[in-house]
Amino acid sequence: MEEPIRAEHSELMTLLYTAEQESHDNSGAIKEVASVFSGHADREEETLIPVLEFMKEWFSGIKQVNAPFLKGKANEFKLEVGAMINEHAQILKLFDEMNTEGEKNACLLENLRKFMKRHSVIEEYYFYPMAMYACKIIEGL
Ligand SMILES: [Fe+2]
Ligand SMILES: [Fe+2]
Protein backbone atom coordinates (compact mmCIF):
# COMPACT_ATOMS: atom_id res chain seq x y z
CA MET A 1 0.00 0.00 0.00
CA GLU A 2 1.36 3.39 -0.98
CA GLU A 3 2.07 5.80 1.87
CA PRO A 4 -1.00 8.10 1.67
CA ILE A 5 0.48 11.47 2.69
CA ARG A 6 3.23 11.16 0.08
CA ALA A 7 0.62 10.05 -2.49
CA GLU A 8 -1.51 13.14 -1.79
CA HIS A 9 1.53 15.42 -2.06
CA SER A 10 2.25 13.98 -5.47
CA GLU A 11 -1.41 14.43 -6.60
CA LEU A 12 -1.47 17.99 -5.28
CA MET A 13 1.78 18.87 -7.09
CA THR A 14 0.39 17.48 -10.36
CA LEU A 15 -2.84 19.48 -9.96
CA LEU A 16 -0.87 22.63 -9.13
CA TYR A 17 1.22 22.30 -12.30
CA THR A 18 -1.92 21.70 -14.39
CA ALA A 19 -3.69 24.68 -12.82
CA GLU A 20 -0.63 26.87 -13.38
CA GLN A 21 -0.50 25.95 -17.09
CA GLU A 22 -4.22 26.49 -17.61
CA SER A 23 -4.73 29.62 -15.56
CA HIS A 24 -4.69 33.09 -17.11
CA ASP A 25 -5.07 35.44 -14.15
CA ASN A 26 -3.65 33.35 -11.32
CA SER A 27 -0.65 31.53 -12.76
CA GLY A 28 1.76 33.69 -10.69
CA ALA A 29 -0.11 32.98 -7.46
CA ILE A 30 -0.36 29.26 -8.27
CA LYS A 31 3.37 29.18 -9.00
CA GLU A 32 3.96 30.73 -5.56
CA VAL A 33 1.72 28.09 -3.93
CA ALA A 34 3.61 25.34 -5.78
CA SER A 35 6.93 26.74 -4.59
CA VAL A 36 5.86 26.91 -0.92
CA PHE A 37 4.07 23.55 -1.10
CA SER A 38 6.97 21.74 -2.75
CA GLY A 39 9.37 22.65 0.09
CA HIS A 40 6.65 21.98 2.65
CA ALA A 41 5.88 18.51 1.29
CA ASP A 42 9.61 17.62 1.21
CA ARG A 43 9.92 18.66 4.86
CA GLU A 44 6.92 16.52 5.88
CA GLU A 45 8.24 13.57 3.95
CA GLU A 46 11.63 13.95 5.66
CA THR A 47 10.30 14.40 9.21
CA LEU A 48 6.57 13.67 9.74
CA ILE A 49 6.33 10.48 7.69
CA PRO A 50 9.26 8.63 9.35
CA VAL A 51 7.80 9.49 12.78
CA LEU A 52 4.30 8.32 11.80
CA GLU A 53 5.69 5.17 10.20
CA PHE A 54 7.49 4.43 13.47
CA MET A 55 4.17 4.84 15.33
CA LYS A 56 2.35 2.52 12.94
CA GLU A 57 4.97 -0.18 13.52
CA TRP A 58 5.18 0.44 17.29
CA PHE A 59 1.42 0.04 17.78
CA SER A 60 1.46 -3.08 15.58
CA GLY A 61 3.85 -4.61 18.10
CA ILE A 62 7.10 -4.16 16.15
CA LYS A 63 9.59 -2.97 18.78
CA GLN A 64 12.82 -3.47 16.81
CA VAL A 65 13.49 0.06 15.59
CA ASN A 66 16.42 2.21 14.52
CA ALA A 67 16.49 4.47 17.61
CA PRO A 68 19.30 6.89 16.55
CA PHE A 69 17.66 7.48 13.16
CA LEU A 70 14.24 8.03 14.76
CA LYS A 71 15.61 10.36 17.45
CA GLY A 72 17.09 12.51 14.67
CA LYS A 73 13.80 12.53 12.78
CA ALA A 74 11.79 13.33 15.94
CA ASN A 75 14.07 16.29 16.68
CA GLU A 76 13.75 17.56 13.11
CA PHE A 77 9.96 17.22 13.23
CA LYS A 78 9.72 19.18 16.51
CA LEU A 79 11.96 21.91 15.05
CA GLU A 80 9.95 22.16 11.83
CA VAL A 81 6.33 21.72 13.00
CA GLY A 82 5.76 25.43 13.74
CA ALA A 83 7.04 26.43 10.29
CA MET A 84 4.91 23.73 8.66
CA ILE A 85 1.74 25.03 10.38
CA ASN A 86 2.60 28.54 9.16
CA GLU A 87 3.06 27.21 5.62
CA HIS A 88 -0.45 25.67 5.68
CA ALA A 89 -1.84 29.11 6.57
CA GLN A 90 0.35 30.82 3.96
CA ILE A 91 -0.83 28.43 1.21
CA LEU A 92 -4.52 28.85 2.07
CA LYS A 93 -4.11 32.64 2.20
CA LEU A 94 -2.61 32.58 -1.32
CA PHE A 95 -5.66 30.64 -2.53
CA ASP A 96 -8.04 33.04 -0.78
CA GLU A 97 -6.36 36.02 -2.45
CA MET A 98 -6.74 34.60 -5.97
CA ASN A 99 -9.24 36.36 -8.16
CA THR A 100 -11.25 33.65 -9.90
CA GLU A 101 -13.82 35.96 -11.48
CA GLY A 102 -13.58 35.41 -15.21
CA GLU A 103 -11.15 32.52 -14.72
CA LYS A 104 -12.31 29.76 -17.05
CA ASN A 105 -10.85 27.12 -14.72
CA ALA A 106 -12.39 28.59 -11.56
CA CYS A 107 -13.87 25.18 -10.76
CA LEU A 108 -10.46 23.45 -10.96
CA LEU A 109 -8.97 26.10 -8.68
CA GLU A 110 -11.83 25.80 -6.18
CA ASN A 111 -11.48 22.01 -6.05
CA LEU A 112 -7.73 22.31 -5.67
CA ARG A 113 -8.18 24.79 -2.81
CA LYS A 114 -10.61 22.39 -1.07
CA PHE A 115 -8.27 19.40 -1.55
CA MET A 116 -5.31 21.42 -0.21
CA LYS A 117 -7.34 22.66 2.76
CA ARG A 118 -8.58 19.16 3.69
CA HIS A 119 -5.05 17.75 3.38
CA SER A 120 -3.69 20.48 5.72
CA VAL A 121 -6.56 20.20 8.22
CA ILE A 122 -6.18 16.43 8.54
CA GLU A 123 -2.47 16.89 9.18
CA GLU A 124 -2.99 19.55 11.84
CA TYR A 125 -6.01 17.84 13.42
CA TYR A 126 -4.69 14.27 13.59
CA PHE A 127 -1.22 13.70 12.20
CA TYR A 128 0.86 16.46 13.82
CA PRO A 129 -0.54 15.73 17.33
CA MET A 130 -0.02 11.97 16.77
CA ALA A 131 3.53 12.66 15.61
CA MET A 132 4.18 14.83 18.71
CA TYR A 133 3.08 11.91 20.88
CA ALA A 134 5.26 9.53 18.87
CA CYS A 135 8.21 11.89 19.47
CA LYS A 136 7.73 11.37 23.23
CA ILE A 137 7.87 7.58 22.78
CA ILE A 138 10.96 7.96 20.57
CA GLU A 139 12.69 10.09 23.25
CA GLY A 140 12.38 7.15 25.65
CA LEU A 141 13.83 4.53 23.28
FE1 LIG B 1 1.21 17.32 3.61
FE1 LIG C 1 1.23 19.91 5.34
In CATH, the number for domain 4-139 is 1.20.140
Amino acid 105: pLDDT: 81
Cα of 123 to ligand 2 centre, how many Å?
Answer: 6
Amino acid 104: pLDDT: 81
Q: Which ligand is nearest to the CA of 121?
A: 2
pLDDT in tens, 38-68: 999 999 999 999 999 999 999 999 989 999 9
Q: Which ligand is nearest to the CA of 125?
A: 2
Amino acid 84: pLDDT: 98
Q: Which ligand is nearest to the CA of 10?
A: 1
Cα of 19 to ligand 2 centre, how many Å?
Answer: 19
Amino acid 83: pLDDT: 98
Cα of 60 to ligand 1 centre, how many Å?
Answer: 24
Question: What is the band of 121 on the pLDDT scale with cuts at 50, 70, 90?
Answer: very high
Q: Span 126-132, mean pLDDT?
A: 98
The pTM assigned to this predicted structure is 0.95
Cα of 102 to ligand 1 centre, how many Å?
Answer: 30
What is the percent of the chain with per-residue pLDDT over 70, rounded to a whole number?
A: 100
Question: What is the band of 37 on the pLDDT scale with cuts at 50, 70, 90?
Answer: very high
Cα of 85 to ligand 2 centre, how many Å?
Answer: 7
Per-residue exposure over 7-25, b if at least 16 CB sit within 10 Å of its own CB, e if not: ebbeebeebbeebbeebeb
